[in-house]
Structure 1
Amino acid sequence: MSIPLRWRLLDEETGATVTECADIDGLFVDRLFPAEPVYERYTLVSCAPSGPLLAAIDGTGPAWFGNFGVVGACASDHPGTEVCGKCYRTTEELLDIRVVGHRTAADGSGLLDIELEGHRRDDDNNGGGTVAPDVSGYLLFDWSGSGTPVGECRKTAGLFHARPDGWPPGPPLTLLGCRPGLTGSVQAELAHVRVDGTVNKLGWDYRVHARVVSTRPSTLGDDHMDIVLDAPIPRPLAANERPIWDMWRAGGPATPNQWAELDRSGRFLWVQAAAAHRIHAPDKPSGTVYTMDGRFITDYDGFFCAIGEAINGPGGWFGGDSFWLHENAATGDGGATPGFRLIWEHSQVARAHLVPGYDRTSWGPATTFDDLVDQLIQEGVQLELR
Structure 2
Amino acid sequence: MSVPLRWRLLDERSGVTLTDCTDIDGLFVDRVFPVEPLYERYTLVRCAPSGPLLAAIDGTGPAWFGNLVVEGAHIPGRPVSERCGNQCRDCYEISEELLDVRVVGHRPAVDDPGLLDIELEGHRRDDDNNRGGTVPPAVFGYRLIVWPSISGATEGTSAGECRDIAGLFHERPDTWPPGPPLTLLGCRPGLTGSFEAELAHVRVDGTAHPMGWGQRVFGRVVATRPSALGDDLVDVTLDARIPEPLAANDHPFWDMWRTGGPSEPNRWATLDRSDRYLWVRAAAIHRSHVPDKPAGRVYHLDGRYVTDYDAFYCAIGEAINGPGGWFGGDLFWLHENAATGDGGATPGFHLIWHNSQIARTHLIPGYDHKRWLPAVTFDDLVRCLTEDGVKLELS
* Same fold? TM cut 0.5: yes
Check whether the contact 2:36–2:175 (CA below 8 A) recurs between aligned residues: no
Q: Per-residue deviation at 1:110?
A: 4.3
The match for 2:343 among 324, 334, 347 is 334
TM-score normalized by structure 2? 0.91
Structure 2 letter corresponding to 1:55:
A
- State the Cα deviation string for residues 212-248 of structure 1 (Å, max 9, x = none): 1111122223332111011123433233432211221
Aligned to 1:141: 145
**How many residues are paired up?**
385
Check whether the contact 2:293–2:344 (CA below 8 A) recurs between aligned residues: yes
Q: Per-residue deviation at 1:14?
A: 4.8
Change in 2 beyond 3 A, CA 1:147/1:14: closer
Gaps of 5+ in 1: none
- State the Cα deviation string for residues 45-74 of structure 1 (Å, max 9, x = none): 122223332332233321111111222211
What percent of counterpart residues are identical? Answer: 72
Check whether the contact 2:70–2:95 (CA below 8 A) recurs between aligned residues: yes
Check whether the contact 1:52–1:150 (CA below 8 A) recurs between aligned residues: yes
Check whether the contact 1:33–1:240 (CA below 8 A) recurs between aligned residues: no
Change in 2 beyond 3 A, CA 1:348/1:332: same
Aligned to 1:72: 72
The match for 2:377 among 352, 359, 368 is 368
2:199 is paired with a residue whose SS is strand
Aligned to 1:87: 91
1:121-140 equivalence runs, <5 A: 121-123=125-127, 125-126=129-130, 128-140=132-144
1:287 is paired with a residue whose SS is coil
Using the alignment, how far apart are the partners of 1:292 and 1:349 within structure 2?
Answer: 12
1:3 is paired with a residue whose SS is coil
Change in 2 beyond 3 A, CA 1:150/1:12: closer
Check whether the contact 1:10–1:191 (CA below 8 A) recurs between aligned residues: yes
Aligned to 2:238: 229
Check whether the contact 1:292–1:343 (CA below 8 A) recurs between aligned residues: yes
1:257-336 equivalence runs, <5 A: 257-336=266-345
- State the Cα deviation string for residues 262-306 of structure 1 (Å, max 9, x = none): 111111000000011111111111111111101111111111100
Change in 2 beyond 3 A, CA 1:46/1:204: closer
The match for 1:190 among 184, 199, 205 is 199
Using the alignment, how far apart are the partners of 1:108 and 1:381 within structure 2?
Answer: 57
The match for 2:365 among 353, 356, 359 is 356
- State the Cα deviation string for residues 143-171 of structure 1 (Å, max 9, x = none): 22552222222211001122233332222
Aligned to 1:103: 107
Find runs of 4+ consecutive structure 1 residues off by over 4 angstroms: none
- State the Cα deviation string for residues 18-68 of structure 1 (Å, max 9, x = none): 322111011123322333112111001122223332332233321111111
2:317 is paired with a residue whose SS is helix
TM-score normalized by structure 1? 0.93
Aligned to 2:53: 53
Gaps of 5+ in 2: 75-79
Aligned to 2:24: 24
Alignment RMSD (CA, Å): 2.1
Using the alignment, how far apart are the partners of 1:205 and 1:213 within structure 2?
Answer: 22
Check whether the contact 1:311–1:336 (CA below 8 A) recurs between aligned residues: yes
- State the Cα deviation string for residues 353-376 of structure 1 (Å, max 9, x = none): 111111111111111111111111
Q: Per-residue deviation at 1:126?
A: 4.0
Structure 1 letter corresponding to 2:202:
V
The match for 2:215 among 200, 206, 222 is 206
Q: Per-residue deviation at 1:77?
A: 4.2
Check whether the contact 1:89–1:126 (CA below 8 A) recurs between aligned residues: no
Structure 2 letter corresponding to 1:157:
A
Aligned to 1:6: 6
Check whether the contact 1:299–1:350 (CA below 8 A) recurs between aligned residues: yes
1:111 is paired with a residue whose SS is strand
Using the alignment, how far apart are the partners of 2:195 and 2:127 within structure 1?
Answer: 29
Check whether the contact 1:140–1:149 (CA below 8 A) recurs between aligned residues: yes
Check whether the contact 1:34–1:265 (CA below 8 A) recurs between aligned residues: no
Using the alignment, how far apart are the partners of 1:383 and 1:108 within structure 2?
Answer: 58
Q: Per-residue deviation at 1:78?
A: 3.3
Structure 1 letter corresponding to 2:271:
L
1:338 is paired with a residue whose SS is coil
Structure 2 letter corresponding to 1:25:
D
Check whether the contact 2:46–2:112 (CA below 8 A) recurs between aligned residues: no
Aligned to 2:186: 177
Check whether the contact 2:313–2:326 (CA below 8 A) recurs between aligned residues: yes
Change in 2 beyond 3 A, CA 1:257/1:213: same
- State the Cα deviation string for residues 178-213 of structure 1 (Å, max 9, x = none): 123533333433221223333222234433332211
